[in-house]
Structure 1
């Protein structure tokens, strides 16, 4: 394996808690992972990262054509059943299956002793999230969910400023994250499957704003959402017959009086990500790779951006501890989505 070194003495792996006498990368043993589903658009990227940092032993998906094409693309083994994958020598699974399959697959993986990395959201119902938590804890496996914005320089800079008290008590937060997937028709058709997805833009792209909101403000008290269906051309009618929302906003309130606004959608061209946090002593903004602090009567100050933190997947693969991407945060995201979808004004 490229980049691996053979060592003469055994070393302790912080991930699997064993001594190894074989191939290592950067002091961590090379983990064997299997790809459990390729439904999500991030499956190729995760697989390429796993091939670079570990070893991919194979792939399973419910769709025979998808799994055969994916296995051929990456020259990895094609498992024809979930059981075959779970009985393999894979130490962990990367879950990229349809969201409504997450709980069932993760519980089975945990019961087979496989560590779990998953695409968001964890599951569509809080009850299913709690079943996953029980299986993870009962079987002593590691769990990491993909919350990549917690590792980006901009949010890290704003979080540090908030924690240091730069803007005083937080009273407002806004996060806008959109793309053109619906109007340019590059999202795959199954992203409009209500049963598999559980919703449209908010439960997909809007997840990032939800977990960032919780990171800064904690659990909301109330939710009020406005969801619309904007793209209505002939192609959209074919792809999105359920008319899932492609333009969405959720407003949340918090115990201390703060308000958060999470904006997302699949119908925007050229819209930058925008992250704003206001307090009673100043205001923070991050957009177009610049973080700025402003206060009354003072000139704006550009904040230094830290380096990107290691991604959740990289931490999972090499055993690095990572905060804020665990089972409790995963459950909270589903709770927040339940609140957002339970209080929709069309």
Structure 2
């Protein structure tokens, strides 16, 4: 559902490179866009009404690649129609919607996954193994940065700047990735505080945000996001009592490691960039397909993971947006 940039670059490619799935249909509110995607990928059915698509009994699952405002209502409708769902981040505009999605998934015994590509990135998979196997010792501090010049660098869509359609600005757009990956690497988050500001764009959502985290195991964390930085910066830093990791870019192109024991100085672990069939977004889609085909519950990027990240964001927004004006303060 939705045949724009995200659908074409990642979701569709994930399905066409899977031996366990066929793309049955595509839909978009702009039928020409759906028809272009159908022509490009040999998809036989085109809908301009998602309700018609949900009535198609040949469809087992759907990807939701539409503006944030529609994530929850379309997910719930799909679940009620007996479909499994892969939904783009954030899972919903607010926690009420997110909890309703969870209730619908449980009621209909259906799979819901969230498109969290960093969990499928070869660099982050290596980092998690190093952390879990104790190479860094006790983790005391983590940092996540995700910055670029704003959605206008990648899309013509203006909905990103609408609180009603997007739910917020750079924090819910970019920070959701850093929050999720840090939670995946370290564990559940206990407390959060943060600041949101609109500094460079004439919009009613934040274009910059910074938040501090305390994890249940005591680890401290920082997440910063920006739509004001012209150069793209994606960084994750992990500090432990025995070493440090720095992961750069998404997909990760390098890991810089410092160890305090028998390896002194910096060790640069270079990676071939995950592209094409190995793009983390594509691997996430294929994992979703595999879970359905094998009848297993997802072990990562679950709806509960999506809700946990949204809970952090909503906590920050509750304390940063003026009730009457809806602007970050």
Normalised by the shorter chain, which TM-score bucket?
0.7 to 0.9
What is the rounded CA distance, in whole Å, between the counterparts of 1:59 and 1:183 in structure 2? Answer: 25
What is the rounded CA distance, in whole Å, between the counterparts of 1:130 and 1:203 in structure 2? Answer: 17
Aligned equivalent of 2:89: 120
Deviation at 1:292, TM superposition (A): 2.6
Greater Rg by CA: 1
Aligned equivalent of 2:211: 250
Give the alignment's TM-score, normalised by structure 2: 0.81
Deviation at 1:212, TM superposition (A): 0.8
Are 1:180 and 1:267, in contact at CA under 8 Å, matched by a contact in 2? yes
How is 1:185-204 mapped onto 2 (pairs within 5 angstroms)?
A: 186=155, 188-204=157-173
How is 1:73-88 mapped onto 2 (pairs within 5 angstroms)?
A: 74=41, 76=43, 77-88=45-56
Deviation at 1:203, TM superposition (A): 0.4
Aligned equivalent of 2:265: 299
What is the rounded CA distance, in whole Å, between the counterparts of 2:173 and 2:308 in structure 1? Answer: 15
Question: Which of residues 276, 281, 284 is equivalent to 1:312?
Answer: 284
Count residues in correspondence. Answer: 302
Give the alignment's TM-score, normalised by structure 1: 0.77
Are 1:183 and 1:231, in contact at CA under 8 Å, matched by a contact in 2? no
What is the rounded CA distance, in whole Å, between the counterparts of 1:185 and 1:142 in structure 2? Answer: 30
Q: Which deviates further from its counterpart, 177-186 or 142-151?
A: 177-186
Change (3 A) 1:340 1:66: farther
How is 1:218-237 mapped onto 2 (pairs within 5 angstroms)?
A: 218-232=187-201, 237=202
Give CA deviations for 1:253-301 in whole Å, capped at 9, x if unaligned.
Answer: 2234321111222222334421111122222212262223224582223
Aligned equivalent of 1:150: 119
Are 2:27 and 2:49, in contact at CA under 8 Å, matched by a contact in 1? yes
What is the rounded CA distance, in whole Å, between the counterparts of 1:97 and 1:290 in structure 2? Answer: 32
Deviation at 1:78, TM superposition (A): 2.4
Question: Which of residues 219, 222, 229 is equivalent to 1:268?
Answer: 229
Q: Which deviates further from its counterpart, 299-308 or 120-129?
A: 299-308
Are 1:183 and 1:266, in contact at CA under 8 Å, matched by a contact in 2? no
What is the rounded CA distance, in whole Å, between the counterparts of 2:218 and 2:14 in structure 1? Answer: 41
In structure 2, list runs of 5 or more residues that go unmatched.
321-327
Are 2:162 and 2:204, in contact at CA under 8 Å, matched by a contact in 1? no
Give CA deviations for 1:142-175 in whole Å, capped at 9, x if unaligned.
Answer: 2221111011122122211111111221111011
Are 2:30 and 2:48, in contact at CA under 8 Å, matched by a contact in 1? no
Aligned equivalent of 1:212: 181
Question: Which of residues 24, 28, 38 is equivalent to 1:61?
Answer: 28
Change (3 A) 1:104 1:185: closer
What is the rounded CA distance, in whole Å, between the counterparts of 2:171 and 2:79 in structure 1? Answer: 28
Deviation at 1:327, TM superposition (A): 2.0
Aligned equivalent of 1:42: 6
Give CA deviations for 1:178-204 in whole Å, capped at 9, x if unaligned.
Answer: 222357574521211211100011101
Deviation at 1:343, TM superposition (A): 3.2
Question: Which of residues 325, 331, 334 is equivalent to 2:307?
Answer: 331
What is the rounded CA distance, in whole Å, between the counterparts of 2:163 and 2:30 in structure 1? Answer: 18
Aligned equivalent of 2:325: none
Deviation at 1:305, TM superposition (A): 5.8
Give CA deviations for 1:200-240 in whole Å, capped at 9, x if unaligned.
Answer: 111011111010121123232222222222334xxxx4xxx
Are 2:69 and 2:93, in contact at CA under 8 Å, matched by a contact in 1? yes
What is the rounded CA distance, in whole Å, between the counterparts of 2:289 and 2:151 in structure 1? Answer: 33
How is 1:97-136 mapped onto 2 (pairs within 5 angstroms)?
A: 97-136=66-105
In structure 1, list runs of 5 or more residues that go unmatched.
1-35
What is the rounded CA distance, in whole Å, between the counterparts of 2:148 and 2:270 in structure 1? Answer: 27
